[in-house]
Chain A
Amino acid sequence: MKKAYLIALLIIIVAAGFTLWAFSSAMTPYVDIRTARQMGSNVQVRGKILHNTVAYDMRQNVLRFQLEDKNKDRIEVVYHGAKPDAFDTAPETAAEGYVQRDASGQTVFESDKMAIKCPSKYDDSKTPVKPAGMKG
């Protein structure tokens, strides 16, 4: 039954090789904004969402906002897709995409995938009741 073992070995080797290839191509490196600007290839950039810069165009389905990484570098993210549920309250996000120069010569981060970091659930400073009749 040497053949059987040979077949098994062959399957294992092919599967392992295929897995390694798939694995290496499925990882997107985490970089800071400066590196992302230099690389131009597909990367993940993590940083703070500057909430006062958020603009969502419902009809075009584009979400634009400024992202600030830990080196205080900023870049405009152009996210194509529905606004994620927790986006408005999320302090941070990791956007996956690439840096591109738009028509006005500015560099923007084109992204179509975002992971949202949720605010921590329990916050000691929380006041329990919201004043009624107010929007804010």
Chain B
Amino acid sequence: MYSAGHAGVVLLWIGLVSAIVTMAGYGLALARPRCRKTLWASRIAYLVTAASVLGTFGVLAALIYTRQYQYHYVFEHTGNDLHGWFRLAATWAGQEGSFLLWASWTSIIGIMVFSRAGKYEARVMPFYTSILAFLCAILIKQTPFDPLPSAAIAALGVHPGDGEGLNPSLVNYWMTIHPPTIFFGFSSLAVPFCYSIAALIWKDYENWTPRVMPYALLSCGVLGIGLFMGGYWAYETLGWHGFWAWDPVENASFFPWLAITALVHGLVVQKSRGGMARTNTFLGLLAFWLFLLGTFLTRSGALASKDENGQLLSVHAFDDIGKSALWLMATMLIVYGGGALLLWLARVWKMPRRSAMGDTLVSRDFALFLAVLLMLLSCAVVTLGATWPLTLSLLHRPPSAPKPLFYNKTIMPLAMLMALVMGCVPWLAWRKTNPETFLRKLLIPWFAMIVFGFLMLIWVLGAERSLHQLVSPDTEVQMQTMHAWISPSLQRVSVITLASLGFLAAISNAMLAYRVFKARKPFSAGGWLAHVGMGLLVIGIIVSNTYERTERLVLTEGEQPVQAFGYKFAFEKMTGTPLSTWPDHPDYDQHNAVEIRVTPPNGESSGSSDGSKTFLIHPRWFVYNLHTASSEQDLQRMSWPDIQKSVGHDLYVSLASDAQYEWPTDDPHQEQPGITLMPKEIRRLGSDYAIEYIGPKGEPGRYMAVQLGLATRDGKVLGLQPGILIDHGMMPVDVAIPQLMKESGQPAVIYLDRLDAATKAATLRINLPGFSGRWAVPLEVTYKPWINLVWLGVLIAVGGVFLAMIRRIGEARRLGETADIPAGSAAAPLETWETPTDGEPVAVVSSPPIAAPANNRSKNGHKSNGQGTHRKGKSGTRR
């Protein structure tokens, strides 16, 4: 047992040492390229590094899985209530575990890198392995294998038999797949980084592009899935009401994605036209560095500082990392960032300059240039906002973060331009396009867009009107629009414009993707398909955010249904089994939910005899540290929404605050709930009971109680003595009355709420069959139109990226068989490009009109014209 943790630390040391050996070995291999032995020795050293990192992960996972609570990390992040996959997923619940996850993926990806790098292996791998060395060093400094501090054991009194458990917001199936996915994406960013470094050092700016392309697409796709999962998790369980909150941690995974996606586009330009070498080497460096920056941001405690001026700026910022590990992290940031930037600056002036703009503005070159520029601008905006708290804390200013409004404002015009470019790019050829033919080809999508815009306008006006009608006038309506900073009419215009441009992007690219598919080149359709997804995503985001409406309502047990957005909500029951000691507090049951029956707008008229159109919805809340909390102050509440999905919209129902049990009172005008009695007073309760307050009783300083007699209709008299424990911080003690069972199967209950020391007046809370309180449930109901377009769009986009990746892997493999590292600096990439000997001739593949089957041409004038333009463009490039 005790040795397991030591094994982990030893493995980390082995990993660190062998990582250094690997770097030295590859250095030697570079100096003596003929010597195969050094290369093999380096590979073995790398495999040892990888194996020890994975071994460390295995050790930690085993400790977590077998619940070795004598380790601090295990004690803090898991508990006996975790089962199945969550028992394993607790491994990456904390700071150290997520670093270990990062290191593990890095070492696995490294195996893929060195086995595919061919002649580039010795150039790329030293840098790549250095990342693993840093990670091992950080984990040695900030080890997850520390035993529980003796002070903590002393405070607990015993050796812990249970851990603190996982935060319940993490006990969710996404916890098992989201962190591994997003960390795979992050880890893979190291590959373009190292290739870019190698390209800069050896002045080989062209040949890295085909090799790095599959990795860049892999990162882009996997990070895309990761962002999607995070967003869906937030939407579905965290009750943020949305999939994206511009939270610093979300941003920290978003800006690397923007950089890597910009790189993908830059690489397309460089592969096809030879331009953008300077931009691409920079983007390769930037993406990984931004990930490091994001990690530093979320780990440094800048978002969760605990000093007096500290302010929690992010919902899921980690606690402070240890000082020494933080310094290592900062060193990593500075070494990789500063080193890479200096290297790039030293080389950039002498790098080959080749215009990436095409011959005219009407060219695919310029469109891609604009795409890269716009993505970089978005990246800069997000980075500025997300790192602002860190900047302020470095300046010793009280931290503060820009509001989501900032991002919404700035990203919206950029998104408009991006959607426009995306909508045009399928109809643009490389170098130059005849403007007339371009416009002619754009005509159909443009027309479709206009039609869509009009339909949108009708929909928008209808939605605004009907939403106002659906909302009952006496409830508060929240207009949560993402652009409340402009007037309603301008808002309408900008929403319709953005959605229409998104539609243009989707339709243009869908048309082209369809043609490429028909030409039996499914993998070449990847990029276009990704754009279709992005177009749909844009529509989904803008519509679901602008036209979502929230209504607050309170459901009361036994009362009429309440209406919102045409739906009728009726309280059914509380689910879950209450604890026998706290019968009226389903708070304390983990699986508690409020069951609500919802009748949709036309549910009654069209419904069959049993009204089958109604459905049940279960918003939940629970208290999660019930077993470890010593007082109510320690109890942590967490609510969990429920979503009714339909094709056109989601109905999102969450508890606005805890459901409250309204105790019965004999005086409806009384403000305080409960019944106040004076000594010797007898009071009738409803028609069935009478209660007598005999007198106070108690032990000074320890507890106070009241003696009661409760008479029921059938003549029984029950003696009861509810009280308040003084030495437990005034804790009332419930008295359950098992002789009186309620319909729900719960016993009647009574407790003493207050006892006035001077007057002896006692306030009681009583809950009896036939004289019972009822639940009042405050709800927040949000109507989210078109939200499914968001999920659909992302999935299509990611699918497209992976299709493109498969194609680029094929290209890289063919290249690997033929290509050699050219001696000296920049080879002649334009020649490589002009004579399509290796791989597919690029111009043909990425310009789909030529890929369209010949028999289509006669049917469609536009297509045939497209063909003509394309020929012109291509012959132009070949001249």
Does any Cβ of A come within 8 Å of B109's Cβ?
no
- Are B637's CB and A126's CB within 8 A? no
- Are A3's CB and B361's CB within 8 A? yes
- Are A46's CB and B311's CB within 8 A? yes
Q: Which residue of B lies closest to A81 (CB)?
A: B656
Q: A105-124 vs B: 1/0 string, CB under 8 Å?
A: 00000000001111111101
CB distance from B464 to the nearest CB of A (A): 23
From 605 to 652 in chain B, residues with beta carbon under 8 angstroms from any chain A beta carbon are 626-639
What is the CA–CA distance of A30 and B309 in the complex, to the nearest angstrom?
Answer: 10
- Are A58's CB and B361's CB within 8 A? no
- Are A86's CB and B778's CB within 8 A? no
B402 interface neighbour in A1, A23, A88, A117, Cβ under 8 Å:
A23
Chain B residues within 8 Å of A85, by CB: 239, 636-639
Chain B residues within 8 Å of A124, by CB: 151-152, 155
A117 interface neighbour in B310, B355, B384, B731, Cβ under 8 Å:
B310
Number of interface residues of A (CB under 8 A): 54
- Are A11's CB and B374's CB within 8 A? yes
- Are A126's CB and B630's CB within 8 A? yes
A61 interface neighbour in B358, B585, B730, B778, Cβ under 8 Å:
B778
B313 interface neighbour in A12, A115, A136, Cβ under 8 Å:
A115
Does any Cβ of A come within 8 Å of B414's Cβ?
yes
Does any Cβ of A come within 8 Å of B44's Cβ?
no
CB distance from B760 to the nearest CB of A (A): 22
- Are B409's CB and A26's CB within 8 A? yes
- Are B731's CB and A135's CB within 8 A? yes
CB distance from A70 to the nearest CB of B (A): 7
Q: Which residue of A lies closest to B154 (CB)?
A: A124
Q: Which residue of B lies closest to A44 (CB)?
A: B400
A130 interface neighbour in B355, B398, B630, B751, Cβ under 8 Å:
B630
CB distance from B247 to the nearest CB of A (A): 11
Does any Cβ of B come within 8 Å of A83's Cβ?
yes
What is the CA–CA distance of A40 and B76 in the complex, to the nearest angstrom?
Answer: 44
Chain A residues within 8 Å of B627, by CB: 128-130
- Are B636's CB and A122's CB within 8 A? no
Does any Cβ of B come within 8 Å of A4's Cβ?
yes
Chain B residues within 8 Å of A118, by CB: 312
What is the CA–CA distance of A132 and B157 in the complex, to the nearest angstrom?
Answer: 19
Residue among A29, A30, A120 with the highest chain B CB neighbour number at 10 A: A30
Chain A residues within 8 Å of B374, by CB: 11
Does any Cβ of A come within 8 Å of B780's Cβ?
yes
- Are A136's CB and B369's CB within 8 A? no
- Are B402's CB and A26's CB within 8 A? yes
Chain A residues within 8 Å of B554, by CB: 58-59
What is the CA–CA distance of A33 and B731 in the complex, to the nearest angstrom?
Answer: 34
CB distance from B361 to the nearest CB of A (A): 6
Q: Which residue of A lies closest to B414 (CB)?
A: A15
Does any Cβ of B come within 8 Å of A134's Cβ?
yes
- Are B310's CB and A82's CB within 8 A? no
Does any Cβ of A come within 8 Å of B737's Cβ?
no
Chain A residues within 8 Å of B523, by CB: none
Q: Which residue of B lies closest to A19 (CB)?
A: B410
Does any Cβ of A come within 8 Å of B603's Cβ?
no
Chain B residues within 8 Å of A129, by CB: 627-628
B628 interface neighbour in A15, A128, A131, Cβ under 8 Å:
A128
Q: A26-B402, A56-B657, A85-B637 are in contact. Are A133 and B385 (CB under 8 A)?
A: no
- Are A136's CB and B636's CB within 8 A? no
Chain A residues within 8 Å of B160, by CB: 128
What is the CA–CA distance of A129 and B76 in the complex, to the nearest angstrom?
Answer: 16
- Are A136's CB and B311's CB within 8 A? no
Q: Which residue of B lies closest to A46 (CB)?
A: B311
Chain B residues within 8 Å of A70, by CB: 308
Chain A residues within 8 Å of B31, by CB: none
What is the CA–CA distance of A129 and B751 in the complex, to the nearest angstrom?
Answer: 23
- Are B355's CB and A86's CB within 8 A? no
Chain A residues within 8 Å of B366, by CB: 4
Q: A57-100 vs B: 1/0 string, CB under 8 Å?
A: 01101000000001000000000001101101100001000000
What is the CA–CA distance of A44 and B311 in the complex, to the nearest angstrom?
Answer: 11
B728 interface neighbour in A26, A115, A134, Cβ under 8 Å:
A134
What is the CA–CA distance of A61 and B730 in the complex, to the nearest angstrom?
Answer: 28
Does any Cβ of A come within 8 Å of B406's Cβ?
yes
From 8 to 45 in chain A, residues with beta carbon under 8 angstroms from any chain B beta carbon are 8, 11-12, 15, 18-19, 22-23, 25-30, 44
- Give the A-B pair count, Cβ closer than 8 A: 172
Q: B406-441 vs A: 1/0 string, CB under 8 Å?
A: 100110011001000000000000000000000000
What is the CA–CA distance of A53 and B476 in the complex, to the nearest angstrom?
Answer: 25
Does any Cβ of A come within 8 Å of B692's Cβ?
no
CB distance from A57 to the nearest CB of B (A): 10
- Are B417's CB and A88's CB within 8 A? no
CB distance from B695 to the nearest CB of A (A): 23
Does any Cβ of B come within 8 Å of A125's Cβ?
yes
- Are A22's CB and B409's CB within 8 A? yes
- Are B311's CB and A117's CB within 8 A? yes
Chain B residues within 8 Å of A58, by CB: 554, 656-657, 660, 776, 778
- Are A136's CB and B632's CB within 8 A? yes
Does any Cβ of B come within 8 Å of A127's Cβ?
yes
Chain B residues within 8 Å of A3, by CB: 361
Q: Which residue of A lies closest to B381 (CB)?
A: A19
Chain A residues within 8 Å of B631, by CB: 130, 136
What is the CA–CA distance of A120 and B554 in the complex, to the nearest angstrom?
Answer: 33
What is the CA–CA distance of A130 and B210 in the complex, to the nearest angstrom?
Answer: 62
Chain B residues within 8 Å of A132, by CB: 581
Q: Which residue of A lies closest to B736 (CB)?
A: A133
Chain B residues within 8 Å of A61, by CB: 476, 552, 656, 778
- Are A134's CB and B311's CB within 8 A? no
Q: Which residue of B lies closest to A61 (CB)?
A: B552
Does any Cβ of B come within 8 Å of A103's Cβ?
no
- Are A82's CB and B780's CB within 8 A? yes
Q: A61-B778, A135-B734, A136-B731 are in contact. Are A121 and B76 (CB under 8 A)?
A: yes
CB distance from B234 to the nearest CB of A (A): 14
Q: B702-743 vs A: 1/0 string, CB under 8 Å?
A: 000000000000000000000001001111111000000000
CB distance from B663 to the nearest CB of A (A): 13
What is the CA–CA distance of A8 and B421 in the complex, to the nearest angstrom?
Answer: 13
CB distance from B99 to the nearest CB of A (A): 18
Q: Which residue of A lies closest to B478 (CB)?
A: A81
What is the CA–CA distance of A1 and B313 in the complex, to the nearest angstrom?
Answer: 45
B637 interface neighbour in A15, A86, A119, Cβ under 8 Å:
A86
Does any Cβ of A come within 8 Å of B357's Cβ?
yes
Q: A28-B403, A135-B734 are in contact. Are A4 and B361 (CB under 8 A)?
A: yes
Does any Cβ of A come within 8 Å of B17's Cβ?
no
Q: Which residue of B lies closest to A51 (CB)?
A: B633
Chain B residues within 8 Å of A120, by CB: 306, 319
Does any Cβ of A come within 8 Å of B156's Cβ?
yes
Chain A residues within 8 Å of B359, by CB: 1
CB distance from B379 to the nearest CB of A (A): 12
Q: Which residue of A lies closest to B376 (CB)?
A: A12
What is the CA–CA distance of A44 and B734 in the complex, to the nearest angstrom?
Answer: 42
CB distance from A103 to the nearest CB of B (A): 20
- Are B634's CB and A126's CB within 8 A? yes
Q: List 19 A-B contacts (CB under 8 A).
A: A4-B358, A5-B357, A7-B361, A7-B370, A11-B373, A15-B410, A18-B413, A19-B381, A58-B554, A59-B554, A82-B778, A85-B639, A89-B635, A117-B311, A122-B164, A124-B151, A126-B155, A130-B628, A136-B730
Q: Which B residues lie at the A interface, using CB under 8 A?
A: 76, 151-152, 155-157, 160, 162, 164, 239, 306, 308, 310-313, 319, 355, 357-359, 361, 366, 369-370, 373-374, 377, 380-381, 384-385, 398, 400, 402-403, 405-406, 409-410, 413-414, 417, 476, 485, 552, 554, 581-582, 585, 626-639, 655-658, 660, 725, 728-734, 751, 776, 778, 780
Q: Which A residues lie at the B interface, using CB under 8 A?
A: 1, 3-5, 7-8, 11-12, 15, 18-19, 22-23, 25-30, 44, 46, 56, 58-59, 61, 70, 82-83, 85-86, 88-89, 94, 115-122, 124-136
- Known interface pairs A4-B366, A22-B405, A56-B657; 7 further A-B residue pairs with C-beta atoms within 8 A, sorted by A's residue number: A23-B402, A23-B406, A82-B778, A83-B656, A115-B313, A130-B631, A131-B728
